[in-house]
Chains A and B, each alone.
Chain A
Amino acid sequence: MFDMSLARRLLVRQHFLSDCFVRAASNAARLKYDVVVVGGGHAGTEAAAAAARTGAETLLITQKIQTIGALSCNPSLGGVGKGQLVREVDALDGLMGRAGDRAGIHFSILNRSKGPAVWGPRAQIDRGCYREFIQSELLNMPRLTVIEGSVEDLLLSAADPEQPGKHKVTGVRMANGGGEILSGSIILTTGTFLSGSLFMGQTTSPGGRMGDPPSCAGLSHCLREVLGLKVGRLRTGTPPRLVKDTVDFSLTELHLPDSKPVPFSFVNKHTQCKPEEQLPCHLTYTTPGVDKVVRESLNVNSHIHQDTRGPRYCPSIESRVLRFPGRQHQVWLEPEGLTSDLVYPQGLSMTMPPELQLRLLREIPALRRVEIRMAGYGVQYDFVCPTQLFPWLQMKNVQGLFLAGQINGTTGYEEAAAQGLWAGVNAGRIALSLPPMSLSRTESYIGVLIDDLVGRGVTEPYRMFTSRAEFRTALRPDNADLRLTPRGFEEVGCVSWQRYQEAVRVSRGLGEALSALQSITLSSFQWREKLGHFSISETKSTLISGKEVLQYKDVSFDLLASAFPDILSPYLEFSERLKIEAVYQPHCEKQRQEMERMRKEESLALPQDIDYFSLPVSLSDEVREILDRARPSTLGAATRLPGITPAAIIHLLRFVTKVGVTTGEAAYMQVRGPKPDCWRGASVHERDREKATVVQS
């Protein structure tokens, strides 16, 4: 079914661009939308799509429809931590996972040997193909209109006194006399374009991406001066793009993709690219000559001298050489597409003048005769300090204004998409007069990401790592559908019926299979007889269940199914997931108490207009200052602030409201009871039963 629709899309591919202009023209007359999204990057596209999925009439404004869904930097998706985000975006019916499956040309699960909780689904992506998929999805989406244009200013009015906030957005004013578009929910996803400047050597020019015009200064002025938002500055960079034919791959290490590509999306059984059609990557290393060129270039490299904070984990080759001199650094040569004649040198982001870039590259044996198609450059840009946001990514101070992506100080496509999706969902909900919702750290990486941003702010571009998620063993890439899809359908309203049905089918299957495993109990002697040799303890005298046996290293579900075909063979399609569930369940069980405590505290909302300095309770000035600066939305967020004492938390209890208007989470808790059950197979089953009894009575 899916393949057929894909094929149909492929056929119409040549036509849709002209098609979209028609749409754009015909819809320009309509001047009022439920939700307006500004920016067509990864945050903007997910935001627009999510808002439309919730049922809101949505408008996406982008400078160029052609660049919608562009991968501005690396031609890859996912990885360790980031792969989890892609899976979660997909579980909430976002675009990114399916786009990756459509455009991937080299799939591999990173960390295969390190445990399923930290597996990192990753793929090299064909840039053009990715863009086309995203564009065709957006341009054919019901309730979504896409237009080209530039936003010059936000339209504001007096704030609704019933809600927190000093201002209220009512629409946007388009540049070049493009008129006004009215909307009560506006999502800004301007990426690096907010006061962006590009750096190469000693030259600087305004802009957010090479080749695209800079955004209007008006928006930046509005945010800073009119709305008075706290803004900071960050920097990043991108490597030069190399001409493939001029690279000597024989001097590199060959890295092959997985022979069985695993799709990102829960709704795809296969990737578009056939296993044998996948392209390899190549690995090479820097030489002492590279260090030398970097040192020589320092006096003509203004980007490197700036104080602006860049990411510690994605540094330019300049900062790597300066921080860790005399070492070999890895350089990955990645394909840019199936038919592309370019190569992307991952690890060689640089901002020196183009002639020095060429000299540097040619110090690497495999690149001795390399030619540059487009030189590397640095970007500096403004970000809005994300502590000014609610956990549903709306500005605390400005009613109806949402921010997502790099504008919030993050880096990476996946981080942007995750925020975009959640901002889109909430902008849509608010437009439809539904209460906003937040995701908990205990249920998703998206929750961790947003909680870190709004709770602690950023000092460098924020990237996801698995070590940021305290409940990493529960928040696995394999179970993102069980964690998020049911809630996404039942409460959030951003998941399609088909996807929901599939998640329900899977969770029911897993639940039944685990119960079946639990019901098989044998002595260790009998197990050995059934399964042959495996390292089960001989001394264990009690009966052992199939679920316990599945926890053993050498036992697979397939092995058990061959021993008990009648009971277990119906569940063979879940083989790998069952093995993971069996191994991880006891550990998730251990964490459950801590998760519940956190969830409980996250369900206690703190009023946003609270004046911490005049509270008539004994809090130290230091604690008052911390609370005033961070303005935590929930008691849980307050607990995680450095410097907040247990006594301060108890004092704050007095001010919390138990059923948050602010967190849908709280309402959820009341109706549902504790939630972790929804992603543990057996309990999912129980929950279904519970539902069934409701229906009967």
Chain B
Amino acid sequence: MFFVTGWRSALLINVTRLCKSASSEDTIFALSSGQGRCGVAVVRVSGPASVDALRSMAGLTRRLPAPRTALLRRLLHPHSKELLDRGLVLWFPGPHSFTGEDSVEFHIHGGPAVINGILQALGSLPRLRPAEAGEFTRRAFHAGKLDLTEVEGMGDLIHAETEAQRRQALRQMAGDLGQLYNDWSLQLKQSLAHVEAFIDFSEGDLIEDGVLYEVDVAVSQLRVEVEKHLSDERKGERLRSGVQVVIAGSTNVGKSSLFNILCQRPAAIVSPVAGTTRDVVETPLDIGGFPVLLSDTAGLRDTCDCVEREGVHRARQTVEQADLTLVVIDTAQLPQDLLMVPGLLSRYLKMVLPNRKDEQCLLVLNKRDLLPKSHIAVIQRVLQQNPGLPPLSILSCHNKEGLEDFLTLLQDRIKTLCGDPLASSPSLTQTRHRTHLQKCVDALAQYYQYRDTDLALAAEGLRSGLTSLGRITGKVGAEEILDVIFRDFCIGK
């Protein structure tokens, strides 16, 4: 009996070892602490190459630190050997780590430049890539490291994380850069569809001659473009880090006045004419030590003026991408019957923020100087009894009354957002993009390597290139490829 058990367990160990060596996954990394100016940032690495990352970044050529013990090291860029930071490193050999895999933590100074430097350095190491949403958790789950009640909490965490990433991505996508990535993805999808059509249908169907030559040209152009994009140091591109705060509301409620007060200079034109602001006006600010990108937007109204209509459209886009929206309303326009005020405010919020989430907005009732003080006090009392509304502030941009309270409220909110461990770091997003673009370029090279000998392997190159791009711009599925095929070719067999 004992013999049998021994035999079984020996086999089991053998099998487990096989599983383990076979499932040698990528090594992933991510910033695990919040963005913004925090004192210490934590970057976490998990996977079989963690130990290599630790050795090369912390210059530990001979001995590794004792497991789970902090060690102060100079952190160097693995290639340029440039000093990135001095920080603590911790080594968690698997299975005694969060994910069950070999893991490393870097506790570094919290400035964006330092974080960015460390993340870029990790991204330059072989077999390391930025983590996808939820990836640490999934690994932990598969390793049996999470109990099921923890899973639920993790789900919420990842929801917030992906939500933050979505906003982050939207922001980047709205610009020229997003347009560029989308164009690339479209081109590559087209090329892949044409190769797939050639593979699945060319025998027995009239696939136009030269389909592959067109693909050759398109892919080579694409490869050159992406490579150029990657080699460009992207100096001109503003690092849009910090909290995106947007001022929005109807026309003539004092949005630009509020904007100017926060900038402490007349950055936006203010006039009594409705529809003065027509474009999005942005300025970087430091509020309570946190980096903020503040935007003033056109007043939301239906209009026949095409320039203003575009302004309204941009305003809506900006709001959609914002971390925090300051919804401004004119106090003097509130109804006389105070019981109707909460309902009106709810409708107003819905108009400005169709997908409102309370933690993402502050309500600003401007022009309190136009009403008697007693009336304001009554309004305040009514609104306090209405828990359905987001935090609000009643102020006057004209005589600065209530402004101090508002600034405190705003600062608290920004602090929460920055300290929020869920908000994605822009530098990580950038690192992720670079990684995927580089993978795309490598994959496209495979197309040429096999173009003449094995079209299946060549197409594989385009496929994985598209998958990499898809991680930035959104996934392209097999059905979409088939749609292009049937749109572009008459398949009749």
Contacts and interface: CB of A to CB of B under 8 A. Distances in A.
Interface of A: 79-81, 110-111, 113-118, 120, 312-315, 317, 320, 323-324, 327-330, 332, 346-347, 456, 465-468, 470, 472-473, 553, 583-584, 587, 592-593, 596-597, 600, 617-618, 642, 645-651, 653-654, 671-674, 677, 690, 693-694, 697
Nearest to A346: B493
B64 interface: no
A21 to B, nearest CB: 39
Q: Which 9 A-B pairs have the closest CB atoms?
A: A115-B454, A115-B456, A647-B159, A117-B456, A651-B155, A114-B455, A324-B490, A646-B134, A650-B155
Given A324-B490, A329-B490, A347-B492, 17 more contacts: A111-B455, A116-B454, A117-B456, A312-B486, A313-B486, A315-B491, A327-B206, A330-B204, A466-B456, A647-B159, A650-B141, A650-B154, A650-B155, A651-B155, A653-B138, A653-B151, A673-B15
B214 interface: no
Interface in B295-325: none
B159 A618 contact: yes
B203 A600 contact: no
B486 A332 contact: no
Interface residues of B, number: 60
21 contacts: A115-B457, A116-B454, A116-B456, A117-B457, A317-B492, A327-B206, A328-B206, A329-B492, A467-B196, A467-B478, A472-B456, A473-B456, A587-B460, A645-B162, A647-B156, A648-B155, A650-B137, A650-B138, A650-B158, A673-B16, A690-B18
A593 B48 CA distance: 13
Interface-central residue, A118, A312, A697, by most chain B CB under 10 Å:
A118
Nearest to A596: B23
Contacts of A324: 490
Interface-central residue, A81, A110, A467, A677, by most chain B CB under 10 Å:
A467
A653 B147 CA distance: 10
Interface-central residue, B26, B156, B201, B478, by most chain A CB under 10 Å:
B478
A313 B201 contact: yes
A653 B156 CA distance: 13
Contact of A690 (B14, B203, B454, B485): B14
Contacts of A470: 463, 478
A593 B25 contact: yes
A592 B132 CA distance: 19
Interface in B1-42: 7, 10-11, 14-16, 18-19, 22-26
A80 B203 contact: yes
A618 B25 contact: no
B111 interface: no
Interface in B173-212: 196, 198-206
Nearest to A619: B155
Contacts of B196: 465-467
Interface-central residue, A81, A313, A671, by most chain B CB under 10 Å:
A313
B65 interface: no
B133 A646 contact: yes
Interface-central residue, A80, A329, A347, by most chain B CB under 10 Å:
A80
Contacts of A654: 148, 151-152, 155
Contacts of A600: 142
A617 B152 contact: yes
A39 B149 CA distance: 49
A301 to B, nearest CB: 18
A113 B198 CA distance: 12
A647 B486 CA distance: 34
Nearest to A321: B490
A483 to B, nearest CB: 16
B239 interface: no
B482 interface: yes
A618 B151 CA distance: 12
A332 B454 contact: no
Interface of B: 7, 10-11, 14-16, 18-19, 22-26, 132-134, 137-138, 141-142, 148, 151-152, 154-156, 158-159, 161-162, 196, 198-206, 450, 453-458, 460, 463, 477-479, 481-482, 485-486, 490-493
Given A328-B206, A330-B204, A674 B492 contact: no
Nearest to A648: B155
Contacts of A653: 138, 141, 148, 151, 155
A697 B10 contact: yes
Contacts of B485: 467
A110 B204 CA distance: 9
Contacts of A593: 23-26
A117 B455 CA distance: 9
Nearest to B461: A587
A581 to B, nearest CB: 13
Contacts of B201: 80, 313
Contacts of A468: 478, 482
Chain B contact residues, majority secondary structure: helix
Contact of B19 (A347, A472, A648, A674): A674
Given A329-B492, A330-B204, A618 B156 contact: yes
A110 B453 CA distance: 15
Contacts of B142: 600
Given A116-B456, A324-B490, A647 B133 contact: yes
Contact of B203 (A111, A117, A597): A111
Contacts of A650: 134, 137-138, 141, 151, 154-155, 158
A255 B7 CA distance: 61
Contacts of B454: 114-117, 583
Contacts of B156: 618, 647
B158 A646 contact: yes
B492 A81 contact: no
A346 B491 CA distance: 12
Contact of A330 (B132, B133, B155, B206): B206
A117 to B, nearest CB: 4
A298 to B, nearest CB: 19
Contacts of A694: 11
A332 B205 CA distance: 10
Nearest to B137: A650
A238 to B, nearest CB: 14
A584 B453 CA distance: 12
Contacts of B161: 647
B146 to A, nearest CB: 8
B199 A329 contact: no
B155 A617 contact: yes
Contacts of B15: 671-673
A45 B27 CA distance: 49
A646 B151 CA distance: 13
Contacts of B198: 114
Contact of B205 (A317, A330, A587, A648): A330
Nearest to B163: A647
Nearest to A552: B453
A315 B457 contact: no
A645 B159 CA distance: 8
Nearest to A469: B478
A110 B493 CA distance: 13
B157 to A, nearest CB: 8
A467 B457 contact: no
Contacts of A330: 204-206, 492-493
B195 to A, nearest CB: 9
Contacts of B453: 115, 553
A114 B199 contact: yes
A229 to B, nearest CB: 24
A516 to B, nearest CB: 23
A585 B113 CA distance: 42
Contacts of B482: 465, 467-468
B23 A674 contact: yes
A654 B154 CA distance: 11
A649 B15 CA distance: 28
B420 to A, nearest CB: 16
Given A115-B450, A467-B481, A320 B203 contact: no
A651 B159 CA distance: 10
A110 B199 CA distance: 10
